[in-house]
Amino acid sequence: MMPLATLLVAAERARTKSANEERVQGMNIQQAIQRYRIRQGAGFSLMVLGALFYLVSSLIFLHQQAEMLAGTKIFGHLGGLMQNLVADIYQVTSPYIGFVWNNAPTLSQENPLSYGNFCCFSVCWV
């Protein structure tokens, strides 16, 4: 049989060891929560930025199509309205997202394999 003092020391060591393990697990949980929040924030910001570029590219494409439409007799008025709508959206948003308006890829119907089409659709695929 073991002496009582040895049993008490062994019990104290086991209690201290389990308390230290809980503390380490708590730190790991906090680190996991922090990593999760950072990754969620980065993913959400990438999603918003990609959607913003896609929306601006679509508006630029709509403006180009409206320019071509404005040159016709039948739908000239509709083309002018679409151009004015896109111009108004540009005027309101350009002070805030001017970088996006200047660097958004342009969609093209004439060349489906153009750089602008590739950039816009790769945002959707990712």
Per-residue model confidence as pLDDT tens digits over 65-88: 888 888 888 888 888 889 999 999
Check if the beta carbon of residue 44 is closer than 8 Å to that of residue 52.
Answer: no
Q: What is the pTM (predicted TM-score) of this model?
A: 0.65
> What is residue 70's DSSP assignment?
H
Q: What's the pLDDT at 38?
A: 94
How far lies 68's CA from each of 50, 76, 80, 99, in Å?
Answer: 27, 9, 10, 26
Task: Give strand ranges (E) for 41-112.
Answer: none
Torsion of CA 36, 39, 40, 46, to 10 degrees: 180
108 pLDDT higher than 80:
no
For residues 96-105, one letter each, b for 16 or more C-beta atoms within 10 angstroms of the residue's C-beta and e for the rest, the string is ebeebbeebb
Please enumerate in sequence order all residues whose Cβ is within 8 A of that of 104, keeping only pairs 6 or more positions apart, or say none.
Answer: 53, 56, 57, 60
Domain boundary assignment for the chain? 4-125
Tokens standing for 102? 């200047």
pLDDT at 102 over 80: yes
